[in-house]
Amino acid sequence: MSITASQVKELRTKTGCGMMDCKKALVKTEGDIEAAIKYLREKGLSKAAKKATRETKEGLVHSYIHSTGKIGVMIEVNCETDFVARTDAFIEMCDDIAMHIAATAPLALTADEIDEDIIVSEREIYRQKALNDGKPEKIVDKIVDGQINKFLKENCLLEQEFVKNPDIRIKDLVNEAVSTLGENIQIARFVRYQIG
């Protein structure tokens, strides 16, 4: 399989690894970006993975108010040093993420944080819909699992596609910032307010 320069660049942007390491990972995984990221992490080569264990005691509480004045977001994003927290790149990333939250209204940061009652309720809705659509009983559970996975991707901030660039997820945006700024960066929490 032929690996393109754009694939190498994309992997390099997401992981902060060297060009040759990215190319080797893509060759090993036959061009699958997600598998290549996993491969690099397993080999300990991903800079984001290496930095993920470092403490984040600095950062910003950033706010965003939508132009209508009816939606507002507060987000806490942590990093290792105050120096990085004050850079334009860090502030711009915080603003982008806050604006994204205003637009998409995620339920939680990760799947672990979504209330189990919501998952149970959604699972029952998907199950009833599949049965009402005449799907065979033996495949209903697989359909429901697929729908739950889709629900989690759409409602967990880190898994959502970035509204300004749907080719990347929010966790990729954060990993790019880790690679660029050279520090561990973590979204700690967020709150979205809306009139009504």
pLDDT tens digits for the chain (196 residues)? 688 888 888 887 777 676 777 888 888 888 888 888 888 777 665 555 556 667 778 999 999 999 889 999 999 999 988 899 999 999 999 999 999 999 999 999 998 899 899 999 999 999 899 888 888 888 888 999 999 999 999 999 999 999 999 988 999 899 888 878 888 899 999 999 999 8
Asked if residue 188 and residue 93 are part of one domain, the reply reads yes
Task: Work out how many domains the chain is built from and give that number.
Answer: 3
Kindly report the backbone phi and psi dihedral angles of residue 65, in degrees, each rounded to the nearest multiple of 5, phi listed first: -115, 125
- Residue 87's Cβ-side half-sphere holds a number of Cα atoms within 13 Å equal to 16
Asked if residue 25 and residue 99 are part of one domain, the reply reads no
Asked if residue 176 and residue 103 are part of one domain, the reply reads yes
Asked if residue 47 and residue 141 are part of one domain, the reply reads no
Asked if residue 137 and residue 69 are part of one domain, the reply reads no
- Domain carrying residue 14: 5-51
Query: How many DSSP H helices and E strands does the chain contain?
Result: 9, 5
Handedness of CA 38, 41, 43, 47 (dihedral sign): positive
d(CA 171, CA 158): 5
Asked if residue 66 and residue 38 are part of one domain, the reply reads no
Asked if residue 46 and residue 138 are part of one domain, the reply reads no
pTM over 0.85: no
Residues 156 and 118: beta-carbon distance below 8 Å: no
